[in-house]
Amino acid sequence: MRIAELWIYPVKGARGTRLAESDVLVSGLRHDRRFMIVDREGVFLSQRSHPRLALVEARLDAATSTLTIATPASPEGTILALAPAFPDHPKRSVRVWDDEVDALEVQGDASALLSEHLQTECSLVFMPDDVVRQVEIEYARPGDRVGFADGFPVLLASLASLAELNGRLADAVPMNRFRPNLVVEGGEAFEEDRFERAVVGSLAFRMPKRCARCQVTTVDQETAKVGKEPLRTLSQYRREGNKVHFAQNLIPDGEGVVRVGDEVRYVEPRAS
């Protein structure tokens, strides 16, 4: 097995940036979900309530250390410099699920651009390096941290598992419905469910739990139209209790680099 694709999503809920390689930090892939869009109360917005987020582009240019945020109505977008990381911007408290953390409110045109596109008043915020959001301790160790991702630093998905799902669907869905960071080629469908750890290149990851899926998987990432699949079909055979699973949450055991083409090995079979 090997890494076929690498993705980061600089703005939570917006489109991703495909990479050839990425630094892996304790909190996940560098630049992944460090920005988030919040309402007036500081609560995060997602495609669950605002499917038009799927049309927001977040284009990372590593060479210039900039991020361009664009919408269909403003394809040229607005450019944000990532270094230094907004040192003079005001802090505010924001909420992502049950976690309340400090973030920096990004000044400039981005919030107005996003408010116009989403047709609701909202602001763009950034998580600075000194903010620690602990991964849920039931599945993690003290000091395991995550950015603005739903709960875990890294998400791994398998092309074999997607092919198995698509074999059950009238209309196949692409991998972007699941918004993974690491896309694995080779192996058996849902093989990733059966192991406790993964090794990517030389970097080890814990695999604490499968990823519970929601209605975001039903949002077409090219059009923002909402349907019923693939969640309806997944719920018929990938349900455990009230959760429907696809892909694996990962926690890095150290820092390093992952690259497209890196070998992937699953180790430590999960107790049945």
Instruction: List beta partners, residue 145.
Output: 134
Mean local confidence (pLDDT), 236-241: 96
* Each residue's pLDDT tens digit, 160-172: 999 999 999 999 9
Q: Is the pLDDT of residue 250 over 80?
A: yes
Q: What percentage of residues in the chain have a pLDDT greater than 70? A: 100
- Interatomic CA distance for residues 83 and 131, integer angstroms: 17
Q: Is the pLDDT of residue 248 over 90?
A: yes
Which phi and psi angles does 53 have, rounded to 5°?
-60, -30
- Interatomic CA distance for residues 223 and 239, integer angstroms: 28
What is the band of 108 on the pLDDT scale with cuts at 50, 70, 90? confident
Q: What is the pTM of this model?
A: 0.96
For the chain, the structural domain boundaries read 10-15+32-126, 137-269
| Residue 33 falls in which region: left (phi positive, over 0), alpha (psi -120 to 50) or beta | left
CA atoms within 13 A on the CB side of 42: 14
* DSSP states of 148-191: SSSS-SEEEEEHHHHHHHHTT-SS---GGGT--SEEEESS-TTG
* Each residue's pLDDT tens digit, 47-98: 999 999 999 999 999 889 999 999 999 999 999 988 777 777 899 999 999 9
Predicted local confidence at residue 190, as pLDDT? 98
Predicted local confidence at residue 58, as pLDDT? 96
* Each residue's pLDDT tens digit, 187-227: 999 999 999 999 999 999 999 999 999 999 999 999 999 99
Predicted local confidence at residue 257, as pLDDT? 98
- Interatomic CA distance for residues 42 and 179, integer angstroms: 24
- Interatomic CA distance for residues 125 and 189, integer angstroms: 38
Predicted local confidence at residue 63, as pLDDT? 87
Q: Of the given ranges (29-33, 64-68, 201-205, 230-234), which has the lowest mean pLDDT?
A: 64-68
Q: Is the pLDDT of residue 272 over 90?
A: no
Say yes or no: domain 137-269 is CATH 2.30.31.70.
no
Mean pLDDT of the chain: 96
Q: Is the pLDDT of residue 237 over 90?
A: yes
Predicted local confidence at residue 11, as pLDDT? 98
Give Cα separations from 42 to 93, 100, 105 (angstroms): 7, 9, 10
Instruction: List beta partners, residue 250.
Output: 154
